[in-house]
Amino acid sequence: MDNRPQLWSETTTHARLVALALLLAVPPAVALGVAAARRPRLAGLAVGTAGVIFTIPSLALFALLVGPLGLGTAPAVAALALYSVLPVLRNTVVGLQEVPRDAVEAARGMGMTEAQALWRVRLPLALPVVVGGVRVAAVTAVGMASVAALVAAGGLGDSIFAGLRGGDETEVLAATTVIAALALAVDGTLALVERGLRRGSAASPGPPGGGRR
């Protein structure tokens, strides 16, 4: 039996679950990280809470979310998003705290508002670390999304669980290989982005002087 078309459609579903979860998780996690970077108490509370969520077994979290959200894509995306908060939040806080103090002081001293200092200096300098967090979150989510099959959200978990039930090891192996490949691809891509940012590709945008606001 040629199950390639099915594997392909499961892969796209799988990838879509991960992408949706990241889209949902990254903006609030970064925003929370920005808010927490200069408030040690809030940082402790937020990272602590996200850490607790991170330790809930994936099967349990998916199942718990079926109650309020029903079966299907919703509980799967919600669970993956919740898991994604911790790495992104933590790296945002750390990234912002590691921004050289003299750069921040220069920004203030030259008359940037807090918002300008954040957008023009602090966030660009923290960005490689933030992307590092997104990378960890994405790789984790690719793996965990296999469990989504159990809440009827589809993805490569479908093949794994079908194979397990039917004793078809090839099917399990094929799906697992695709998941691993997907994780490596996501990891590699984001690693490149991160490296590019570290080298400082956030140069002055546009032509010389780059006066874009």
**115 counts as binding another protein under rule CB under 8 A:** no
Judged by beta carbon, residue 96 or residue 147, the one nearer another protein is 96
* Min dist. Cβ of residue 115 to another protein (A): 11
Amino acid symbol at 130 = V
Footprint (CB under 8 A) of another protein, residues 18-77: none
Q: Is 196 in the site for another protein (CB under 8 A)?
A: no
107 neighbors 134 (Cβ within 8 angstroms):
no
Asked if 197 and 26 count as a contact pair (C-beta separation under 8 A), the reply is: no
Q: Which is nearer to another protein, 30 or 77 (CB)?
A: 30
Q: At what angle do helices 4-37 and 157-166 cross, to 10 degrees?
A: 130
By C-alpha distance, which of 10, 46, 27, 33 is closest to 145?
A: 10
Q: Which stretch binds another protein (CB under 8 A): 40-48, 59-67, 80-88, 204-212?
A: 204-212
Alpha helices in 72-198 (DSSP H): 73-97, 101-109, 114-117, 123-144, 157-166, 169-198
Regarding 2 and contact with another protein (CB under 8 A), the answer is no
Number of residues that bind another protein (CB under 8 A): 26
213 near another protein, rule: CB under 8 A = yes
151 phi and psi, to 5 degrees? Answer: -110, 25
Question: With respect to another protein, which residue has the nearer C-beta, 94 or 149?
Answer: 94
Structure tokens at 41: 């108490």
Interaction between residue 110 and another protein (CB under 8 A): yes
Q: Which stretch binds another protein (CB under 8 A): 34-42, 96-104, 159-167, 186-194?
A: 96-104
Q: Locate 33 and state its tokens.
A: 């990280």
Residue from 112, 136, 162, 172 touching another protein (CB under 8 A): that is 112
